[in-house]
Amino acid sequence: MPDNNRILLVGRQHSRMEQLTGILEMAGFIVTATTDDGVAIDLAGSSTYEALLIDSDVAQPDRRYVATQCRNRDRLLVVLTVNSPRSLLTQLRQAGLRT
């Protein structure tokens, strides 16, 4: 299990977020999920997360804004766009996170 196993997940579709949360929880991560960009930015600044995952259903300008604002609050935060639930764990491993 990862040392800091907390993941912040941002998306728009609840069903897809539930699917991604299930995959992450089965891999041993603790997931905080939100559909609100402002909440995600506040959480990134007030808590420690191993990664910020932004689902591909979030519009490109919103993804850039959330990623930039979250990185301003935590420079070491890994930020990934989730393109496919099937590749989620692979993306995390490639980013250097232990799954």
Mutual orientation of helices 37-46 and 60-73 as an angle, nearest 10°? 20
1, 30 in Cβ contact below 8 A?
no
Query: 22 is in which domain, residue-wise?
Result: 6-85
Return the closest-CA partner of residue 98 out of 22, 25, 3.
3
pLDDT value at residue 1: 41
Residues 6+ apart with CB under 8 A from 30: 5, 6, 7
Question: Residue type for 13, please?
Answer: Q
Residue 96 inside a domain? The answer is: no
Q: Is residue 13 part of a domain?
A: yes
Q: Is 23 part of a structural domain of the chain?
A: yes
pLDDT digit string (tens) for 39-93?
999 999 999 999 999 999 999 999 999 999 999 999 999 999 999 998 999 999 9
Q: For residue 80, what are the β-bridge partners?
A: 53
Q: What is the pTM of this model?
A: 0.91
